Amino acid sequence: MELYQLTAEKLSAMLANKECTSEELTQSVLRRIEAKEPEIKAYLTVCAEEALKKAKEVDQKRAAGEKLHPLAGIPMGIKDNICTRGIKTTCASRILENFVPPYDAFVMEKLHAADAVILGKLNMDEFAMGSSTENSYFQKTRNPWNTEYVPGGSSGGSAASVAAGEAVVSLGSDTGGSIRQPSAYCGIVGLKPTYSSVSRYGLVAYASSLDQIGALGRSVKDVAMVYSAICGRDPHDATSAVREYPDFAAGITGNVKGLRIGIPKEYFGEGVAADVKEAVWKAAKALESAGATLVEVSLPSTDYALSAYYIIASAEASSNLARFDGVKYGYRTQNFSNLTEMYENTRSEGFGAEVKRRIMLGTYVLSSGYYDAYYKKAKFTQLRIQDEFNKAFEACDLLLTPTAPDTAFRIGEQVDDQVKMYMNDILTVTVNIAGLPGLSMPCGFDGKGLPVGCQLIGPKFSEQVLFDVASCWEQQNGGFDLAATLA
Amino acid sequence: MRREGDTMDLKNYELVVGLEVHAELNTESKIYCGCRNAFGMEVNTECCPICMGMPGTLPTLNEKVVEYAAKMGYALNCTVNPVSKQDRKNYFYPDLPKAYQISQFDIPLCEHGWLDIWVNGQERRIGITRIHIEEDAGKLIHDDSFTGTLVDFNRCGVPLIEIVSEPDLHSSAEAKAYLDTIKSILEYINISDCKMQEGSIRCDINVSVHKPGEPFGTRVEMKNVNTFSGAVRAIEYEAARQIDVLEDGGTVAQETRRWDDIKGQNFVLRSKEDAQDYRYFPEPDLLTIVLDEDKLATIKASIPELPNKKKVRYIQELGLPEADAVLLVETKEKSDFFEAILAAAPIKAKNAANWVLGDVSRLMNEQNRSIDDLGINPAQLAEIISLIEAGKISSSAGKQVFDEMLQTGKAPAEIVKEKGLEQVSDTSALQAIVVEVMANNQKSIDDYKNGKTNALGFLVGQCMKASKGKGNPALMKEMLLKYLEG
């Protein structure tokens, strides 16, 4: 057994018991990166030197008897839309190809304070727009279960690196499913936390009202450990909740007795693959046998969620991405003779097709004369979806659904069919629209041997319940089988 | 139609003007980050990743900005909305690093107010549509020493309020009075430095003309007006331009024009067809602005009597000439001082005004100090004025007491006593002086009798001199007259 194969939970205990050092662990993961990266292509930047330096520092602190955070010395990867001081933060876009932020995101400050070891920056769909990580300007990340397949997206690098043992845990961001769907495709655990529980300061904005940073890991406890480390009030994010949070990892009981698990029928409709339905049902039944009750609930506006999501997200994106204009930082075209041309050519050359598509869509829906028909209606739909969730949570404590309608698809398979690509998000966007926490856990495999993801959705700030339920399933299932990918 | 005080001939047209005034607030820090709100610093030293719009950064609202803007709202008789929101105004320009300005669109902080202004001897009420908060943009730098354009981000995120008037102004003189009044109120409630040369107040002007009884004409917006006198010139130029167009049988185009104060002309900036679509939408990075009742009440209670109201009160209730009233309300310190004198003793307002605008203002100019820093106790100045009014000392003795008081800090009564400055109002004591002056000035007596009445002043002066300044001049004048006429 190599150190890179172990969970953060196990490694944290080993480090504490001095069964291994962070330097040994970091070296193990760096060797794994070296070995697997040519195939997986999860990283855009690897900071081997800095990671080892940090690992040694942590080992010294531990040797000196300092009281350390559970994540101290654990090597992790960071999605490349989270600002890291002194380390390139590209959002997988040509327009930020050489952007080095002079500041850290709030979550990075938290991770540094916890003495986590930062391995590098992970590939993603450009500006987090996409469901396959194929929209990266730099490279296509492969699914560790089958490298012909996409790892999902937009946090494809975050999911693939963890599934391949190239990071123990990672940070991703989720605007419409960007943590949960790749977690499902790569057979790992991913949490999209309650909106406002993790500061967005330093997360390069895609859709401000929907974006949320979250954690990916190979066990429920690992994800809970990372979430505990990054959540909390940040005075620099006005939307950050004023709230105290418990130690989620320590609080996991795995007890589901008496919990009412809602099964929303709209999430098991025609478009969902039979293999997926079957695997998800298996998990539901296992939870039932562990003492939970299954109740059928209805979320009738689910059909409108995807349209509402693409309108709201694109509208905000068109404004958020306007700052990439070639004036201050990032890419600037060589080809211009006046200001307007500089803007037009910089943005035409600097952004990829999907980003341009969403900027145009967002610009259109906010235009005078169209605002009421699109943006306003979408915001109204958002309220309706929120109401329906609130109502559903009167009848149950959490919801259980598939994370995505199907398992991973082949690289290149869906790039020409945008609607099909957007359908990947149909079961996850509602969670962002309602600001709820959502967790994806692996629940088996399809006929092709690709992992299936099961999504748990709870009321705001119910992460502890989601961890308990996921942990119950994890224990029954005997942990998630990663032998195939970690070989 | 020509109104009194107008400097231009409107050729039987009516002029309609609405103003949008942008005022920079003098808060310590910027509106959405912790950078200092300071003018005149070295280029790009008062900025940070937030006000430079770096990726991933987020704004947080400086609550002082809301408080200051709400103050102006109450000062302009607005409804201050307990709940308002912030919106993004999207447009590309190199001085706007986020490519959107955070402003307020459909629910501004303040609405539905009014402002009374004093023009040509009467009060006029001008409607205030709204006041909202927003952030300023940076500055582009062009210089012969380099090619291209550079950007200074120091001004990015400086808090602004935009005060939008109703189209209630009908002459350039009214617009000037409106602007002057806005400026004095901003200074009175101390929320803006109002330094025109630093661009801390700027305005956009909407102008249209129409024939009496007809609907409003097409509105033209003028931008880049940075001084109040420039506003007057811009309005007069634009009104004349529109009237010429109409008189020539043309129609006024709806457009935005740029005022060039040096050329004294405006130029088309963009036509209606090219009007920008700012794609306003609610700012998702900021929360709704909520002001509870207590907070609103506290802000409202902090508004002092404002200069425009004070001025009218001074004219109408205290009977002061308009010129005096205008000067007295110039600053809050000056009018506070004036009112403190009045409150300290039952003296005539005009006498108090004369002192404040005379000797006190002279001292302020000489010493280049504010009125509060001169070390004058208003109650003691009131005492001096009372002594003069009661005839106990002459006004020249009053000035002597004033100077002595400033130098020694002694009480006026004490100084009068020490220096023996009491005015003599005893006719028997003055009799000898009058007789002596009459005896020594036969020529003046002859002059007076020959109709040169100003000889009387000379004789009074001689009496004052002989009494060493202590004789009551009014009494001596009366006694002199008795002899001369008798």
Q: Can A10 be counted among the known catalytic residues? A: no
Q: What are B69's two structure tokens?
A: 């803007």
Q: Which residues of A touch B87 (CB under 8 A)?
A: none
Q: Judge whether B250 lies within some domain.
A: yes
Could you say which DSSP state residue A265 is in?
G
Q: Which residues of A109-126 are buried (b: 16+ CB within 10 A; e: fewer)?
A: bbbeebbbbbbbbbbbbb
Q: How many angstroms separate the CA of residue A239 from the nearest CA in chain B?
A: 6
**Residue A328 and residue B53: Cβ atoms within 8 Å?**
yes
The pLDDT assigned to A47 comes to 98
- Report if residue B1 sits inside a domain: no
pLDDT top residue among B475 and A427? A427
Smallest CA–CA distance from B281 into chain A, residue: A366
Sign of the four-CA dihedral A407, A412, A413, A419? positive
Give the largest CA-CA distance in chain B: 96
Choose, out of A103, A210, A233, A319, the residue to mutate when testing the contact with B (most B CBs < 10 Å). A319
pLDDT band for B6, please (50, 70, 90 cuts).
low
Chain B nearest CA to A235, separation (Å): 8
Q: Do B97 and A323 touch (CB under 8 A)?
A: yes
| B103 shares a domain with B65 | yes
Give B279 to chain A, closest Cα distance, Å. Answer: 5
> Is position B6 within any domain?
no
Mutation site, B54, B101, B103, interface A, largest A CB count within 10 A: B54
pTM of the model: 0.90
User: Last residue of a domain, which of B398, B419, B440?
Assistant: B419
Q: Which residue has the tokens 């912030």?
A: B86
Tell me if A79 sits within 8 A of A173, measured CB to CB. Answer: yes
Between A99, A202, A319, which is nearest B90 by CB?
Answer: A319
Same domain? For B472 and B407 the reply is: no
- In chain B, residues with a C-beta closer than 8 Å to the C-beta of A316 are 281, 284
Task: State the pLDDT at residue B2.
Answer: 44
**What number is the average pLDDT over the span B344-366?**
93
Pairing status of strand A43-46 against strand B122-135: unpaired
Query: In this predicted model, which residue has the larger pLDDT, A483 or A470?
Result: A470
B5 within domain boundaries: no
Alpha-carbon gap, residue B196 to B228, rounded angstroms? 9
**B361, B389, B419: which is the final residue of a domain?**
B419
Chain B residues lying within 8 Å of A207, measured CB to CB: 284
Query: What distance, in Å, lies between the first and last C-alpha atoms of chain B?
Result: 60
What's chain B's Rg over C-alpha atoms? 30
> What is the rounded average pLDDT of the residues A94-115?
98
Mean local confidence (pLDDT), A87-101: 98
Which domain-ending residue is among B281, B299, B317?
A: B299
- Whether B3 is covered by a domain: the verdict is no
Q: Are the beta carbons of A82 and B56 separated by less than 8 Å? A: yes
Give the DSSP H or E segment for A439: strand A438-445
Task: List pLDDT tens digits, range B29-73.
Answer: 999 999 999 998 999 999 999 999 999 999 999 999 999 999 999
φ/ψ of residue A170, rounded to 5 = -150, 165
Number of C-beta neighbours around residue B449 at 10 A: 11
CB contact under 8 A, A339 and B90: no
Residues of A in contact with B90 (CB under 8 A): 318-319, 322, 366
Contact check, Cβ <8 Å, B92/A203: no
pLDDT 10s digits, B279-334 = 999 999 999 999 999 999 999 999 999 998 899 999 999 999 999 998 999 888 89
User: Percentage of chain B with pLDDT > 90?
Assistant: 66
Is A178 known to be catalytic? Answer: yes
Q: Do A96 and B54 touch (CB under 8 A)?
A: no
H-type helices in A290-335, by residue range? 302-320
Which residue of chain B is at minimal alpha-carbon distance from A316?
Answer: B284
Q: A458-461 long-range CB contacts below 8 Å, 24 or more apart?
A: A458/A393, A458/A397, A458/A398, A458/A399, A459/A389, A459/A390, A459/A393, A459/A398, A460/A194, A460/A195, A460/A435, A460/A436, A461/A194, A461/A197, A461/A241, A461/A243, A461/A437
Verify that B34 and B86 share a domain, yes or no: yes
pLDDT at B463 over 60: yes
CATH of the domain at B461: 1.10.10.410
Reported as type and span, the H/E element at residue A118 is strand A117-122
Q: Are B97 and A363 an interchain contact pair (Cβ–Cβ within 8 Å)? A: no
Note the pLDDT of residue B1: 44
| Set A28, A154, A197, A314: catalytic member | A154
List the single residue in B57, B59, B92 with the smallest CB-CB distance to A322: B92
Q: Sketch the domain layout of chain A as residue ranges.
A: 3-261+396-486
**Nearest CB neighbour to B56, from listed A201, A328, A343:** A201
Residues A160-198 as b or e (16 or more Cβ within 10 Å = b): bbbbbbbbbbbbbbbbbbbbbbbbbbbbbbbbbbbbbbb
The alpha carbon of residue A187 is apart from the nearest alpha carbon of chain B, in Å, by 30
- Taking domain A3-261+396-486, whether its CATH number is 3.10.20.30 is answered by no
In this structure, the answer to whether residues B158 and B28 fall within a common structural domain is yes
Residue A191 has φ and ψ, to the nearest 5°, of -115, 125
C-beta atoms surrounding A401 within 10 Å: 27
Residues B95 and B174 in one domain: yes
Mean of pLDDT values over B413-442 = 84
How many structural domains does chain B have?
3
**A367 labelled catalytic:** no
Do the Cβ atoms of B56 and A371 come within 8 Å?
no
Q: Please list every residue in chain A whose beta carbon sits closer than 8 Å to the beta carbon of residue B151.
A: 327-328
B177 and B236 share one domain: yes
Which residues from A are below 8 Å from B281, CB to CB? 315-316, 319, 366, 371, 375
User: Of residues A79, A110, A192, A460, which has the active-site annotation?
Assistant: A79
Tens digits of residue pLDDT in A326-356: 999 999 999 999 999 999 999 999 999 999 9
Token pair for A369 = 């004369």
pLDDT of residue B7: 58
Q: Which residues contact B237 (CB under 8 A, 6 or more apart)?
A: B259, B264, B265, B266
Q: Is the pLDDT of residue A34 over 70?
A: yes
Q: How many angstroms separate the CA atoms of A221 and B196, rounded?
A: 62
Alpha helices, DSSP H, located in A69-144: 106-113
For A296-318, how does the pLDDT look when each residue is reduced to its tens digit (9 = 90+)?
A: 999 999 989 999 999 999 999 99
pLDDT value at position B259?
Answer: 93
Residue B4 lies inside a defined structural domain of this protein: no
User: What are phi and psi for residue B74, nearest 5 degrees?
Assistant: -65, -35
Nearest-by-CA chain A residue for B62? A238
* C-alpha span between A116 and B431 (Å, rounded): 104
Examine residue B274 and state whether it is found in any structural domain, yes or no: yes
Tell me: the pLDDT tens digits for B376-422? 999 999 999 999 998 888 888 888 899 999 888 889 988 988 887 88
CB contact under 8 A, B92 and A363: no
Pick B284's closest partner by Cβ from A91, A208, A343.
Answer: A208
Which residues in chain B touch residue A370, judged by CB atoms under 8 angstroms apart?
A: none
Is B338 in a helix, a strand, or coil?
Answer: helix
Per CB distance under 8 Å, which residues of A are interface residues toward B?
A: 81-83, 89, 91, 96, 99, 101-103, 105, 200-205, 207-209, 235-239, 315-316, 318-319, 322-325, 327-329, 339, 343, 363, 366-368, 371, 375
Our CA-based measurement puts residue B266 at a distance from the nearest CA of chain A, in whole angstroms, of 24
> Are B344 and B406 found together in one domain?
yes
pLDDT in tens, A130-152: 999 999 999 999 999 999 999 99
Q: What whole-number distance in Å separates Cα of residue A378 and Cα of residue A307? A: 8
State which residue of chain A sits closest to B91, comparing Cα positions.
A322
Q: B357-360 — which CB contacts under 8 Å span 24+ positions? A: B357/B324, B357/B327, B357/B328, B359/B399, B359/B402
What value does the mean pLDDT of chain A take? 96
pLDDT digits (tens, 9 = 90+) for B141-194: 988 888 888 999 999 999 999 999 999 999 999 999 999 999 999 999 999 988
Element (H, E) at B267: strand B265-271
Range of the domain at B203: 14-299
Which candidate from A101, A237, A322 shows the least CB-CB separation from B58? A237
Q: Which member of B58, B277, B284 has the closest CB to residue A367?
A: B277
User: With pLDDT > 70 as the criterion, what percentage of chain A qualifies?
Assistant: 100
Q: Are residues B412 and B274 in the same domain?
A: no
Residue B436 has pLDDT above 90, yes or no: no
In degrees rounded to 5, what are phi and psi of residue A482? -110, 10
CB pairs under 8 A between A and B: 101
